Structure 1
Amino acid sequence: MIAHPIATRTSYRRGRRTTAAMLLTLPWLAGCMVGPDYQKPLMALPASWSQNGATQPNRPPELAQWWSRLNDPLLDSLIDEAVAGNLDVASAKARIREARASYRQSTGALLPSTDGSGSSQRSKSGGASTGGSNTAWGYKAGFDATWELDLFGGNRRTAEAARYGVDVAEEDLRNTLLTLIGDVASNYVNLRGYQARIALAQRTASSQRETADITRNKFEAGAASSLDVANATGQAASTEATIPSLRTSYAEALHRLGVLTGQAPSALETRLKKSKPIPRPKLPIPTGIPAEILNTRPDVRMAERQLAQYTARVGAAEADRFPSVSLLGNIATSGAQIGDLADHSSIAWSFGPSLSVPLFHGGQLAAAADVARAQRDQYFIAYKSSVLNALEEVENAIVGLSQERIRYGKLATSTQAYRQAADLARTLYKSGSSSFLDVLDAERSLYSAEDALLASRVEITQDYIALQKALGGGWDGRVRIDEPEIVDRPKTRPVVFVQH
């Protein structure tokens, strides 16, 4: 670096013309910012979704409070509690506060900085050889000011990147809320599904135990074989064996809901213990057009803001390769007494520009600019990838929902047929026109069909949740961001009791 010497009081008059000429050029130079100006990239998107299913693609998606269309007030309250108490949301809010503080910090670099100083010193001179000593006090005070003119926009590019960083943090919060709401809804639906499947297994096992008892009584009366008794007992035990695994899955969903709402895993056990129907969405579901993904998906918007942020950082890195000019000023005063600091004769000052020119850094500055460009390329690719992934998720959710509805219809038909077959098998067995194995086979098929029907009902709602998440549906209410998690309290002074 080559620095222009600061003009002192004695040389100020000689350099004032040069300084004045430089100041006249500042308005023009201040508008110069090196590096690329950000422009939002254009993405070629399809005009409509390839799999329409039962949806209405031309209507905008109904994303606001989408979970309320499941008509479950308890789910609504759990989502409200999760938004208020979830720890991932709290971390995202802290990142917003950090980003905003970083932005204020970077904009502060655009303004002059000033510092004041003061000191007092006691000194002693002389000694035994001089016949005595003198003790004196000395006082000093000063005031320094610096202002970097940011001729090539390095500081402004840094502030621009920090402003985009605030947008990134805000979109990160929206994405966290989207994921959180989807997870709460998904685990709640699973929990209700496991409750229904446990109840089904218990009813079926109870019925099968009664059948086994009847068969055992008939065997003792000589009207049934030991094979029938073994088969009836084994089928009841097999159905009962499915209950522990269902209860384990139920407990996992319950515990996950507790943690998602920011509470202990078992905190919601009492509230969720009573069984309720599996939530079912209102169909059909409008999905809008693919281009709306760019405005509704927070992860896509976050990737776009990150691209803007790293585009600005390219300009900041480029500005480091150009000269920098600062205005420096200093006022200093000293005296033997405090009152002497205000005397005109004790005051010295200096003012003038400082020029710093990068001459040789072994290619570091150019390499730093290349690093910034490579990072921008990575975030450009990440943005394109986020758009394609979003489109893929929506397409998959549309297909999954439409196909699961078809599957559910078939399962409902098969369940009805197996129920009729089971009733007929029991009637024929009682009349002696059919074997007991036919009854066992019909009951086994009926239980499998009823269990699959419940699982399919859960899957339809899960596909609905996945579609809403893929479309970008999340929290649209207010979130308190400015409240810190830790509030520092001022230290209290100790109380001293004086005895008289």
Structure 2
Amino acid sequence: MILVAALLGGCAVGPDYRTPLLATPAHWSRTGGVTTAPPTLPRWWARLHDPLLDRLVTEAVGGNLDVATASARVREARASYRQAVGALLPTIANSDSARLVNGTNSLSAMPGGTNIGTPSSSVGSNDAAGLYQAGFDASWELDLFGANRRAVEAAGYGIDASDENLRAVLMTLVGDVASNYVQARGYQARIALARRTALSQDETTKITRNRLAAGTASAADLANATGQAATTRAFVPTLEAAYAEAVHRLSVLTGRPPAALADRMARPGPIPTPKLPVPAGVPADVLLLRPDVRLAERRYAQSTARVGQAEAALYPSVSLTGNIATSGTKLGDLGRNSSISWSLGPTLTVPIFKGGKLRAAVDIAQAQRDQQFLAYQASVLAALKDVEDALVSLGHERSRNGLLATSTTAYRQAASLSQSLYRSGSSSFLDVLTAERSLYSAEDALLQSRVKIVADYIALNKALGAGWDGDVDVLTPEVIDADTGPHPAGAIPLRRAAP
């Protein structure tokens, strides 16, 4: 039997995993503004040249709660792997006992064992004597059809999946930190623009009031000028609320209370400007660079190994079991005057009738494997879509930004001319109102477009798989237990009875 087990030791049932080959386009549909050079992913946010953003990204990696959760899952996966490996090894347990025996007894070998010692001394029927036993039990499942090895294989894929999940969380985190930071800077710029414009419109109101006193303007002109300045100033509270929300999100992403970054962000800074064009590589790169795609592939591999684990349960299992024990009436006799018993032999377990449970378990594992394969395909398509969307959005926004810059320049000239003509009495006040309103709208749209370009740049880097490439502590637990060894149990608080 042992020889047969040795011969079958390398046997494993179930499918062997092979990485699927999925067809991807040869190139991206839109190449404007990008190059086919390999993506430059390490520390991509540093190319925005904002030192505060660099620090916030580093702080977020160290303090974000989602990252800490993903790190704990890495530790869990590694422990699960060690647990699965332990099933491949023999188990040995020590068994000691001590009890009192009444009557006349003679120590004998354990059932199934061989008595190679001498009987112990007898005791009277009314006397009590001690009976001490010590021994070891051992067992080893030979894993003929690879159930435990498939479990180890699945656990190994689980480690890979947890690592990729951590990278996916980091990818999302870095992108979210950069996005909220840029949004906050954009709101600051729009707030400053609204305040500057309102002050300029206040000057127009002052000029109109003087002209009204001189009889060269109407009360309607003064009312329109006052109303336009107030309307522009009314945008400020809305923008300030949006700015505060962006800072709150940014603070929470770094693992801090919502208002923790208010002081550090209070001083306005420029809207970061990305360096374009962006190296986007080829579509096949997402299969290797996107952590969420690699996560889906590892989960598919893990589910494939579990199919083999379920199929192995259909076959017989063989275990080698053995024990050795010694007993005596005195504790000191265990090593001298004692009875020693031992047993050794194989145990064969054959699943004859389980009511279809084992075959159903195989069908469940196969269905779960199919789900993971489809999830992998879906993740690839989603990744390709993310890149295509980001490329299209970035390309169109750059074109739109150029047109907005042209319109802003034209409206600025128109506003300046209308003010001059109005002061000289050569233009109506309606022309001034229209020019100022159009200039403010164009400048605000230009700022939003600049933010949108950076947001598309961030989205493109995320879509390509850019994330954190530094070290992350996955070894230190979040909760440090105290008094973990045997110790007196604490008092259990009693619930107060209801009156």
Query: Normalised by the size of structure 2, how large is the TM-score?
Result: 0.92
Look up the equivalent residue of 1:149 and give its one-letter code.
Answer: L
2:234 aligned with 1:234, yes or no?
Answer: no
* Distance in 2, Cα, partners of 1:386 & 1:204: 47
- Is residue 316–residue 351 contact of structure 2 (8 Å, CA) maintained in 1? yes
SS of 1:232's partner is helix
1:189 to 182, 188, 202: 182
Aligned positions of 1:85-484 closer than 5 A = 85-124=63-102, 133-343=126-336, 346-484=339-477
The offset of 1:133, in angstroms, is 3.6
Letter in 2 for 1:142: G
- Per-residue CA deviation, residues 367-400 of structure 1 (Å, 9 max, x unaligned), is 1000000000000000000001100110110111
How many angstroms apart in 2 are the aligned matches of 1:472 and 1:28? 46
Deviations 1:449-486 (A, max 9, x none): 00000000000000000000000001111111101111
SS at match of 1:469: helix
**Deviation of residue 270 (structure 1)?**
1.0
Give SS of 1:64's match: coil
* Cα deviation 1:75-99 (Å, max 9, x = unaligned): 0000000001110000000000000
- Of 16, 21, 24, 1:42 maps to 21
Q: Residue 102 of structure 2 contacts residue 125 of structure 2 at CA under 8 Å; is this kept in 1?
A: no
CA distance in 2, matches of 1:432, 1:491: 88
Output the CA distance in 1 between the equivalents of 2:484 and 2:338: 45
1:28 equivalent in structure 2: 7
In structure 2, how many angstroms separate the alpha carbons of the residues matched to 1:313 and 1:385?
21
The aligned amino acid for 1:39 is R
Residue by residue, what CA displacement relative to the aligned partner does 1:232-268 show, whole Å, maximum 9, x if unpaired? 0110111011111100110001011111111111111
Distance in 1, Cα, partners of 2:462 & 2:30: 17
Partner of 1:16: none
The answer (yes or no) to whether the contact 2:328–2:337 under 8 Å persists in 1 is no
5+ long unaligned stretches in structure 1: 1-21, 495-500
Residue type matched to 1:91 in 2?
Answer: T
CA distance in 1, matches of 2:129, 2:207: 115
Separation in 1 of the partners of 2:90 and 2:51? Answer: 56
* Cα deviation, residue 336, structure 1: 0.6
What is the distance in 2 between the residues matched to 1:297 and 1:430? 61
2:372 maps to a residue whose letter is: Y
Aligned equivalents of 1:190, 1:35: Cα separation in 2: 52
Shift of 1:489: 3.0
Amino acid aligned to 1:110:
L
SS at match of 1:330: strand
CA distance in 1, matches of 2:244, 2:253: 14
Given that 2:327 and 2:338 are in contact with CA atoms closer than 8 Å, whether structure 1 keeps it comes out as no
What SS does the corresponding residue of 1:458 show, helix, strand or coil? Answer: helix
Q: 1:291 to 1:491 in 2, by over 3 A?
A: closer
CA distance in 2, matches of 1:85, 1:41: 37
Letter of the structure 2 residue corresponding to residue 25 of structure 1: V
- The secondary structure found in structure 2 opposite 1:136 is strand
Q: How many angstroms does 1:269 deviate by?
A: 1.0
Cα pair 2:141 2:319 within 8 Å, conserved: yes
What is the distance in 1 between the residues matched to 2:128 and 2:41? 81
With normalisation by structure 1, the TM-score equals 0.91
RMSD: 1.6
CA distance in 2, matches of 1:407, 1:54: 14
8 A Cα contact 1:70 1:279, kept in partner: yes
Q: Which residue of 2 aligns with 1:65?
A: 43
Does the 8 Å contact 1:149/1:324 carry over to 2?
yes
Q: How much does 1:343 deviate?
A: 4.0
- State how far apart, in whole Å, the 2-side matches of 1:403 and 1:80 are: 32
Q: Which amino acid aligns with 1:50?
A: S
Residue 210 of structure 1, CA deviation: 2.2
- 1:78 is aligned, of 56, 64, 69, to 56
SS, match of residue 315 in structure 1: helix
State the distance in 2 between where 1:484 and 1:23 align.
44
Alignment check: 8 A CA contact 1:340 1:346 kept: no
Q: Distance in 2 between matches of 1:229 and 1:373?
A: 78
How far the C-alpha of 1:294 sits from its partner, in A, is 0.6
Instruction: Report the AA paired with residue 317 of structure 2.
Output: S
Contact 1:110–1:155, Cα closer than 8 Å, also in 2: yes
Give secondary structure in 2 for the equivalent of 1:333.
Answer: strand
CA distance in 1, matches of 2:33, 2:368: 42
Deviation (angstroms), 1:364: 0.6
Quick one: which amino acid aligns to residue 237 of structure 1? Answer: A
Give the secondary-structure state (helix, strand or coil) at the position aligned to 2:127: strand
- Tell me by how many angstroms 1:334 deviates: 1.5
**Distance change (3 Å), C-alpha of 1:491 and 1:469:** closer
Counterparts of 2:426 and 2:405, CA distance in 1: 28
Paired residue secondary structure (2:215): coil
C-alpha separation in 1, matches of 2:21 and 2:128: 77
Indicate the SS of the match to 2:160.
Answer: helix
In structure 1, distance between residues paired with 2:132 and 2:91: 24
Match of 1:358, SS state, is coil
The 8 Å contact of residues 258 and 268 in structure 1, kept in 2 or not, is answered as yes
1:124 Cα shift?
Answer: 4.7
Q: Per-residue deviation at 1:491?
A: 7.2
> Using the alignment, how far apart are the partners of 2:126 and 2:378 within structure 1?
81
Structure 2: runs of 5+ lacking an equivalent = 105-123, 489-499
CA distance in 1, matches of 2:325, 2:230: 95
The Cα shift of 1:134 comes to: 1.4
Give the Å deviation of 1:332. Answer: 1.6
Deviations 1:174-216 (A, max 9, x none): 0000000000000000000000000000000111122212212
Q: Secondary structure at the match of 1:475?
A: coil
